[in-house]
Amino acid sequence: MATHHAAPGEIVDLASWADDLPNEKTKAIIKTNDIELARLVIPKGKEYPNHKVSGPIVVQCVQGKIELTAMGTTQELHSGQLLYLAAGEPHSLKGVEDSVILLTILITS
């Protein structure tokens, strides 16, 4: 079955994402030529090693707590907080608690 991407004007229920924690599934919510919005479920202890993407990103913690390392600094991102990184900025993530994040990537050509 094809992944459903939200259409313009469609409401996306962020509150329901807490139910996804046991399933550890990443899901693309919106994917266009200009922007990609993805929900990532990050279990406690799960690490995403240092990587980078070509466009600017916003990491928003919807639930739980993660560690995000970028620009030589490790910071904790708590539920309700977000962080912006410039295009090409290397970064890594780690689940401090079972967490759900919303990742926004601006596509640059």
**24-52 confidence digits (pLDDT tens):** 678 888 999 999 999 998 999 999 999 99
CA angle, 68 then 46 then 61, to 5° = 45
Q: Where do we find the tokens 């919807």? A: 62
Give the C-alpha separation, 80 to 4, whole Å: 25
The predicted model scores a pTM of 0.84
- Digit-coded pLDDT (tens) for 89-105: 999 999 999 999 999 99
Give the C-alpha separation, 5 to 89, whole Å: 27
Q: Where do we find the tokens 């240092």? A: 50
Residue 1 has pLDDT above 50, yes or no: no
Domains and CATH numbers, the chain: 38-106 (2.60.120.10)
CA angle, 24 then 21 then 34, to 5° = 65
